[in-house]
């Protein structure tokens, strides 16, 4: 039954006993300890934990930006943790979309150009104007990041990640630098994208109310996973309050 259940589910990401140790002078820091979980296609996952709990490290390893000290990450049955540098780059290019806390847009490119930059390298056929509309920036496409608010910049970052139609959207504290209302609007965009483009979305945050909108919540503390909760009744972001 268990085997059948697993095969029926469409698992896109399988994390097994993942470990990451850092050497800081003479001290070894265990940033990640035996983390294991699975993510299904189209799921909206929230990884919740206080700062220093290892969630960013986990996200970086899943996204192919960092390598683990032990354990494995399987993406669609491909062992990401065995990838070469070039394979990791291709993995990031075609399979993963990143949204960062501080947006990290190219200051000298307009909003639309920031999105096109990524579409260009992946050869994505996505309609950039449509993506800009989807994130609510149809009329701000020609503005430079410095002419936009934080919320607008984060929308551009989401559009940039979505435009290449990635399998997984990884969002590192996407509302961390934003006020409540803007934060909620960003979460809405992420949820809309999740529904519209059927991407798997993984959001890491220290902000526990956000967990209410997730299909799955992975709680972390001190580098380890403390709890994995399947949320049968996720609520819409507009109902979240913090």
Partner 1 sequence: MKKLDKRLFRMIKNTKGQYIAVLSIIITGIFIFTAVKNSAMNLRDTLNDYYESTNFADIFVTAAALPERLERQLTGEENIKEVDLRLSFDTRLITDNDNERITVRAVSVDKNENKINKLYIKKGRRVLSEKEAIIIDQFAVARKINVGDEIKLNIKGKEHKFKVSAIASSPEYVYMMESEQVLLPDPNSFGIVFIEESYLRKISGSGYFNEAVLTVKNYEQIDKTKDYLEDNLNKYGVIRVLNRDEQLSNSMLNEEINGLDKVSRSIPAVFLLFAGIMLATMLSRIVKKDRTTIGVLKAVGFMDGEIITHYLKYAASVGIIGGILGSIIGTAASGAMTSMYLEFFNIPMLTVKIYYNRIIIAVLLSLVFCIGSGFWGIKSILKINPAESMMPESPKRGKRIFLERFKLFWNRLSFSWRMVYRNIFREKKKFIVIAAAVSITTGMMIMTMWMNDIMDVMFVKHYSEFMKIEYNISFDGFQDKRVLNEIKENISYNNMEGRIEFPFEIENGKYSKTVNIIGLEDKTVFYDFYDSEGNKLIVKKEGILISSNLARALNADIGDRILLKSFLPDGDEKYITVTGILKQSLGINGYMNVDYLSKEFLDKGIINGVYINSDDDIKVKLDNIKNISSIQSQKDMQSVFEEFTGLIAVFMGVMIIFSGMLGFVILYSMTLMSINERTLEFSSMRVMGLTKKEIFKIIMKENTVMSVLGIIAGIPLGKWLIDYLGIMFSTDIYTLQGNVTSKEIITAIILTVIFIISAQLMTYAKIHKLDFMQALKNRIS
Distances (CA, A) of 151 to 124, 185, 238: 25, 8, 16
Pairing of strands 216-221, 70-75: unpaired
Candidates 11, 29, 74, 109: give the one binding partner 1 (CB under 8 A).
109
Residues 221, 204, 92, 5: what is their CA dihedral angle, to the nearest 10 degrees? 80
Comparing CB distances to partner 1, the nearer of 119 and 225 is 119
Q: Which stretch binds partner 1 (CB under 8 A): 25-33, 156-164, 213-221, 234-242?
A: 156-164
Smallest distance from partner 1 to CB 93, Å: 2
DSSP bridge partners of 75: 13, 78
Distance, CA of 103 to CA of 145 (rounded, Å): 10
Which parts of 35-64 interact with partner 1 (CB under 8 A)?
Answer: 60, 63
Pairing of strands 44-48, 216-221: parallel
Contacts of 232 (CB under 8 A, 6+ apart): none
Contacts of 88 (CB under 8 A, 6+ apart): 64, 80
Q: Please tell me whether residue 21 binds partner 1 under the rule CB under 8 A.
A: no
Contacts of 161 (CB under 8 A, 6+ apart): 97, 98, 99, 118, 169
Q: Please tell me whether residue 29 binds partner 1 under the rule CB under 8 A.
A: no
Smallest distance from partner 1 to CB 91, Å: 8
Which parts of 171-210 interact with partner 1 (CB under 8 A)?
Answer: 172, 177
Which parts of 115-144 interact with partner 1 (CB under 8 A)?
Answer: 116-118, 120-122
Candidates 1, 107, 232, 241: give the one binding partner 1 (CB under 8 A).
107
DSSP bridge partners of 170: 98, 202
Comparing CB distances to partner 1, the nearer of 101 and 216 is 101
Phi, psi at residue 38, to the nearest 5°? -130, 150
Contacts with partner 1 by CB under 8 A: the residue count is: 38
Candidates 41, 69, 100, 234: give the one binding partner 1 (CB under 8 A).
100
Q: Which two tokens stand for residue 69?
A: 């000290």
Comparing CB distances to partner 1, the nearer of 172 and 215 is 172
Distance, CA of 41 to CA of 173 (rounded, Å): 21
Smallest distance from partner 1 to CB 117, Å: 4
Q: Please tell me whether residue 84 binds partner 1 under the rule CB under 8 A.
A: no
Q: Which stretch binds partner 1 (CB under 8 A): 29-37, 96-104, 190-198, 224-232?
A: 96-104
**Footprint on this chain of partner 1 (rule: CB under 8 A):** 60, 63, 65-66, 86, 89-90, 92-94, 96-98, 100, 102-109, 113-114, 116-118, 120-122, 145-146, 153, 160-161, 164, 172, 177
């Amino acid at each position: 039954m268990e085997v059948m259940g697993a095969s029926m589910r469409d698992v896109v990401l399988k994390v097994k006993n993942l470990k990451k140790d850092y050497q800081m002078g003479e001290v070894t820091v265990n940033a990640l300890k035996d983390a294991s979980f699975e993510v299904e296609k189209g799921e909206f996952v929230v990884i919740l934990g206080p700062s220093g709990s290892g969630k960013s490290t986990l996200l970086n390893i899943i996204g192919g930006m960092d390598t683990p000290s032990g354990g494995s990450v399987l993406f669609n049955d491909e062992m990401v943790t065995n990838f070469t540098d070039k394979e990791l780059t291709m993995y990031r290019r075609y399979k993963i979309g990143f949204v960062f806390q501080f947006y990290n847009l190219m200051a000298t490119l307009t909003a639309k150009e920031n999105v096109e930059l990524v579409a260009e390298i992946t050869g994505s056929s996505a309609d950039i104007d449509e993506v800009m509309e989807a994130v609510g920036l149809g009329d701000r496409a020609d503005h430079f990041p410095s002419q936009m608010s934080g919320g607008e910049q984060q929308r551009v970052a989401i559009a940039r990640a979505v435009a290449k139609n990635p399998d997984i959207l990884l969002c590192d504290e996407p509302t961390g630098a934003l006020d409540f209302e803007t934060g909620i609007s960003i979460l809405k965009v992420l949820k809309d994208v999740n529904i519209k483009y059927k991407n798997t979305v993984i959001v890491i945050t220290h902000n526990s109310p956000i967990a209410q909108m997730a299909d799955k919540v992975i709680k972390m503390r001190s580098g380890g996973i403390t709890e994995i909760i399947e949320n049968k009744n996720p609520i819409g972001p507009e109902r979240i309050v913090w």
